[in-house]
Every structure is written in C-alpha cells, then in structure tokens.
Amino acid sequence: MQNEYKVQEGQTLLDIAIHNFGSIEAAFEIAAHSKLSLTEELPAGSVIVLPKVTRSEQVNKYVVASIANRNITPCTGPKMLSGIDYVQVGISLKVS
C-alpha cells in the first residue's frame, strides 16, 4: 500500500478511503492523521499522507483489488455533480 496519495479533482476523504482501504471507515483515520475535517474540500493535486493500517479488518482487499482491476478512481465530490449523467432530485419530484 502506498504511503502518499495525490488527490484527484472532486475527491473526498471518503473516496480516498474507499480507493486505498476498501472501506469508508478508514476516512476517520485519514482525517485524524492528516488533521483534516471529513467534509473538507480537497484541492486537486494535493498530497495526503495515509496512515499505517493497524488492524487487518480495516482493509477490504476485495474492494481495493476490484477498484484497481477496473481502473476506477472514486470521485464523489460536489464539483463532479454535473454533465449528462447527473440528475438532481428536487422537491417537486413525483413518482407514480
């Protein structure tokens, strides 16, 4: 596992946790280790030093491998909510 992670456009600590540890639970440790808020906006290109894993249950190797095999970079930040594949649900939505 890498020690440092370069933030991509629109990534959150939750994305980084999923990408590197396979679980959002690691976001709390990343935030504490980096002295960041869970909801802090991360500038693209910034480098975050990842904490060392202390327990084996903190890493879901299946998820990490699946992300790597599919060449996926999780990215769910608010700036990424645009484009043809984005749908905003408003108060006036009616499903029948």
E strand or H helix that includes residue 31: helix 26-34
Instruction: Give me the pLDDT at residue 54, please.
Output: 59
8-52 pLDDT, tens digit per residue, is 988 999 999 999 999 888 899 899 999 999 888 899 999 999 988
Structural domain contains residue 90: no
Q: Are 19 and 30 in contact (CB under 8 A)?
A: no
User: How many domains does the chain divide into?
Assistant: 1
> Does 87 have pLDDT greater than 70?
no
Structural domain contains residue 86: no
Structural domain contains residue 73: yes
Domain coverage including residue 60:
4-80
Q: Find tokens 């690691």 and name the residue.
A: 26
Q: How far is CA 29 from CA 49, 58, 73, in A?
A: 11, 10, 20
Instruction: Give me the pLDDT at residue 73, please.
Output: 86
Tokens in use for 3?
């020690």
Structural domain contains residue 46: yes
Q: Are 1 and 61 in contact (CB under 8 A)?
A: no
47-82 pLDDT, tens digit per residue, is 999 988 756 557 888 888 988 998 888 888 765 555
Structural domain contains residue 96: no
Structural domain contains residue 13: yes
